[in-house]
Amino acid sequence: MADVTIENIPVHQVESRLRRIATPLPVPETRAMLEDSRRYEPRSMGGQPPVMWDRAEGFTIHDAFGNRWIDFSSGVLVANAGHGRREIGEAMVRQIEHGLYHNYCFPNEPRIRLARRLCELAPEPLKKAFILSTGSEATECAIKLMRTRGRQMRNEKDVILSYTNAFHGRTLGAQMIGGIPALKDWIGHMDPAMVQLPFPDGFRCEDTSFDFFEESLAGLGVEPRNVAGIIVETYQGGGASFGPQEYFQKLREWCDTWDALLTFDEVQAAFGRCGKMWGFEHYGVVPDLMCLGKGISSSMPVSAIVGRPEVMDLYPPGSMTSTHTGNPICVAAALANIELILAEDLIGNAAGMGEVLHRELWHQLKPFDARIGAIHGKGLVAGVHVIQDESLTPDGQLAHDVVWHAVGRGLMLFAPVGLGGGTIKISPPLCITEEAVVEGVSVLAEAFADSLGK
Ligand SMILES: Cc1ncc(COP(=O)(O)O)c(C=O)c1O
């Protein structure tokens, strides 16, 4: 018999213009369905606060029982243009009414239009796009292209470098290049040519110099000439942590010197999330490949890898494909989403509201700074790194309690992420207003006080 225990959320009745919590959580009427989830879905699906989402619009989430949350999650950094955008729904309906739901790799107008749009928006030399369905598919494809090119040059040029604490997805290759040991224990036999280096976040890794990159590489016995490519999240998703601009500029030069490809995993960072179209614009460099997903459609499963034409063309016709590549309905959503982000200047709003968000976090969370090791991020993504004490050990329990209290007060957050589950991640839809940002952060401060019994 499956364990169907469901954790209660500590509820604080609230009624404001943007939030309403008027029932126990989970709502008693949803218990049977939540128990069915425990019974029929894997245990791994049970990590989020047990709130049954019913509908969502813009930056608010509703259940079917009159409760309403300000959303600081965007699902999981997907709903960049906002939840339930009518324009995206109408584009999908038009495609459905048009009568093409699937067509594999046969040429189809929506898919080719999305590839062209991504290439128009991407900087030189990223001028070919392969449309896929999930972020992991895009990172797997990056691994394949980098290693294929390296091995075509010389058999030993097969090393894929990535970073400690990195997350690139849950499929085999994506986890082998990932930097979270607990996620890859199950693999057993690691590829000796997949190597992780410390990510220069200035917090978990204090040395952010590029010399440290070269020293670490030498320490691991990797010869630079054998590096086929480097894949790096533009910011590390687990902590919303960026590295220094100078480091990435030197990394770009290093890749050019050693003829290695540089891939930015932009699955979280693109489409305005960091206050720029592409997150890597913060570093003033351009990669050879970029992986896209999540915010590309604000809704449907679409991803892409965009890169240098000569790399994207390494495989002959029919040999780098996917069953659901460019699904016409998903692509219609992505095209409408991209136009919304541009037409409504949601990137500008993310930059402006991002300043408000980071200012408010620093200000309103000040009373708890003994338990906050760092607040990272840019634009509308932030990671509040919760710690036990000055040893900087992540405090997964406190981070969990804060999230559960926040949800019980009408602020939607997903469960903590990152090292030791100690990071509270904040990532609202890019259409959020100043009123909602300020109110959301004040709820977070109340949730810290609740959790610490202050
Ligand atoms: C940076 C990054 N890369 C890749 C992925 C994998 O994307 P997906 O879950 O769509 O496979 C994620 C998902 O969280 C991510 O954050």
The answer on 180 and 74 residing in a single domain is no
pLDDT value for 5: 82
* Residue for token pair 């290759």: 173
Mean pLDDT of the chain: 97
Model confidence pLDDT, tens digit, residues 184-202? 999 999 999 999 999 999 9
- 425: CATH: 3.90.1150.10
Long-range contact pairs involving 20-25 (C-beta distance under 8 Å, separation at least 24)? 20/66, 20/67, 20/68, 20/410, 21/67, 21/408, 21/409, 21/410, 22/65, 22/66, 22/67, 23/65, 23/66, 23/67, 25/49, 25/50, 25/51, 25/67, 25/407, 25/408
The answer on 262 and 133 residing in a single domain is yes
Ligand 1: residue of 140, 267, 299 to mutate (most ligand atoms within 8 A of CB) is 267
The answer on 367 and 275 residing in a single domain is no
Domain that holds residue 207: 86-343
Atom of ligand 1 nearest to the CA of 166: 1
Output the pTM of the full model.
0.98
The answer on 366 and 327 residing in a single domain is no
The answer on 52 and 123 residing in a single domain is no
Q: Which helix (H) or strand (E) element contains residue 194?
A: strand 194-197
Under 8 Å between Cβ of 228 and 262: no
If you average pLDDT over residues 139-150, what whole number do you get?
A: 98
Q: Is the CB of 168 inside a 6 Å radius of any atom of ligand 1?
A: yes
Strand partners, 382: 426
Atom 2 (ligand 1) nearest CA: 168
Model confidence pLDDT, tens digit, residues 20-37? 999 999 999 999 999 999
Q: Is the CB of 134 inside a 6 Å radius of any atom of ligand 1?
A: yes
Model confidence pLDDT, tens digit, residues 335-367? 999 999 999 999 999 999 999 999 999 999 999
Q: Give the Å distance between the CA of 351 and the centre of ligand 1.
A: 23
Choosing from 274, 309, 343, the residue where a domain stops is 343
Check whether 119 has a pLDDT greater than 60.
yes
The answer on 406 and 332 residing in a single domain is no
Question: How many structural domains comprise the chain?
Answer: 2
Atom 8 (ligand 1) nearest CA: 135
The answer on 154 and 76 residing in a single domain is no
Choosing from 293, 322, 343, the residue where a domain stops is 343
Q: Is the CB of 135 inside a 6 Å radius of any atom of ligand 1?
A: yes
The answer on 118 and 37 residing in a single domain is no
The answer on 181 and 77 residing in a single domain is no
Distance CA 374, CA 14 (A): 29
